[in-house]
Structure 1
Amino acid sequence: MNQMDKQAYIFGGVLALANRLQALGDKLDEHITLKQWLFIAVIFKSEHASPTISEVAELIGYSRQNVKKMAVALEKRGFVSLMKDEHDARIFRIHLTPKCAVYFQTRAEKEGQFMKHLFEGFSEERTDALYKGIMQLAENINLMESRQHETEKE
């Protein structure tokens, strides 16, 4: 397989694996989807204790409207709370609730097993190489998005 064929395979493979991973992850827990898990994980790992809807949208790569919709759904279930920013009432900040923390503590072992099985057979070198490859793809996507935004402004 030549370089172009490998790149095409990786591109298609990433898309297909993302769909399969989402289906697997959704079966992990009947109460929360994989996309909701990612949403909560991003907030938990965020530099800000309570990121804005726009900040979460940018980190995940979802539209602001999709993040708001997900936040409202999770708020109804008691996992997050939406609060207006102290300085700008147009901005909503997302806070994880104590219920969310407790819930995710109860599923920590299940998540650990999921990750263990997902990366079974991966050496440290293979994990490092995949990590570096994904980071490079993310950087390239960021550059492509920046160029696209510049083109749209013209």
Structure 2
Amino acid sequence: MEINDLINKFSDTPEKQCKAIFNTLFIVTNKLQTTFDQHIPDITLKQFMLLTLIKQSSQPLTLTQLGELLGCSRQNVKKLATILEKKGFVKIKSNQFKTKGVLIEPTKKMKDYFNNDFVKFEAELKYLFANYTKEEINHLFILMMKLYPGINNLKEKIANDK
């Protein structure tokens, strides 16, 4: 069975299309992770995503905040951060304003990584979206961002069913 066979099989009704979109999100994530992990040295895609959030933040974030942004548990973020700290990309520090919690701060190595090493890989992102027009990218962006409230709706539904 080829991917085009699956696309055709799920393309005739909105219900089937929703199932195909859900499956595609999972498959695409796995394929991107495999491609990234085989191609980019020093860090995994999950570690990179954590670094990206840290880079984009104007202030140090807690494990809980990063977990919420990444969509995973505080414990998973702690594992990623611990590995990244051993590699010299981040510093895990006590939160001086709270008795509980730690903050994740970028290091010079992380900044250097984004300014130097990652630049060539960032340029390669254009290949991922080479089949899209500017308008399609804009539409895809808008539609993908609607997944966030959709996930919240699903979480509320599940919580209410308990």
Q: Does TM-score exceed 0.5, indicating one fold?
A: yes
Q: Which runs of 4+ in 1 moved over 6 A?
A: none
Query: Structure 1: which 5+ residue stretches go unaligned?
Result: none
Identify the residue that residue 85 of structure 1 maps to in structure 2: 95
Counterpart for residue 134 of structure 1: 144
> Is 1:13 the equivalent of 2:24?
yes
Going from structure 1 to structure 2, the CA distance change for 1:55 and 1:150 (only over 3 Å counts) comes to farther
Match of 1:123 in 2: 133
Give the superposed CA RMSD: 1.5
Q: 2:40·2:121 contact (CA, 8 Å) conserved in 1? A: no
Shift of 1:53: 0.4
CA deviation vs aligned residue, 1:36-69 (integer Å, no higher than 9, x gap): 11000011112x5100000000000011111011
Match of 2:56 in 1: 45
Q: TM-score, normalization: structure 2?
A: 0.86
Q: Secondary structure at the match of 2:72?
A: coil
3-state secondary structure, aligned to 1:107: helix
Question: Which stretches in structure 2 are left out of the alignment for 5+ residues?
Answer: 1-11
The percentage of aligned residue pairs carrying the same residue is 30
Determine the C-alpha separation between the residues in 2 that align with 1:63 and 1:144.
18
Which residue, out of 27, 41, 51, partners 1:30? Answer: 41
Separation of aligned partners in 2, 1:26 and 1:57? 21
**2:69 is the counterpart of 1:69:** no
Distance in 2 (alpha carbons) for counterparts of 1:65 and 1:118: 31
So what's the TM-score if we normalise by structure 1?
0.91
- Tell me how far 1:112 sits from its aligned partner: 2.5
